[in-house]
Amino acid sequence: MNHIQSPDTSDAGIEREILAKGLTAPRVTPSDIEDNIASEHFFTAQQGVIGESCVTGKACGDSGDNPLSLLTFCVLVMKNGFTVTGESACASPKNFDADIGKKIARANAVNKVWPLMGYELKQRLSQR
């Protein structure tokens, strides 16, 4: 059986390919994305419900085994104050891993930043 290596479609892999091809026109890079993130926040939907309950004065506490504990959110606060969210949902409680959920939620949030920064770059380029 032939083993064909899959192309590296990660942000870092694509960045390496762009650099290897000598493409030097203005563009958004992974480091541009990271440089524009002021802070990042993670929580599960269950933590959000508990927090909302505490803020509104309802009884707050952990309700034990809850499917909301399998939904992880990432909120990226950009340097200009704009917020972007990402999420990760786990179907099986036995597979839930908080660190993996955070990584996936963050990656999904970062994927939403690319078109925003691409638009901003295009706007600047169109005004030259």
% of the chain with per-residue pLDDT over 90: 74
**pLDDT of 1:** 56
Q: Based on the number of CB atoms within 10 Å of its own CB, is 25 exposed (0-12), middle (13-18) or buried (19 or more)? A: exposed
**pLDDT of 2:** 66
- Helix spans in 1-128 (H): 11-20, 30-35, 45-56, 98-126
- The domain limits of the chain are 28-126
Q: What is the pLDDT of residues 45-86, one digit of tens each?
A: 999 999 888 888 776 665 557 899 999 999 999 999 999 999
**pLDDT of 60:** 66
Most confidently modeled range among 10-19, 44-53, 65-74, 114-123: 114-123
**pLDDT of 7:** 79
Q: For the whole model, what pTM was predicted? A: 0.85
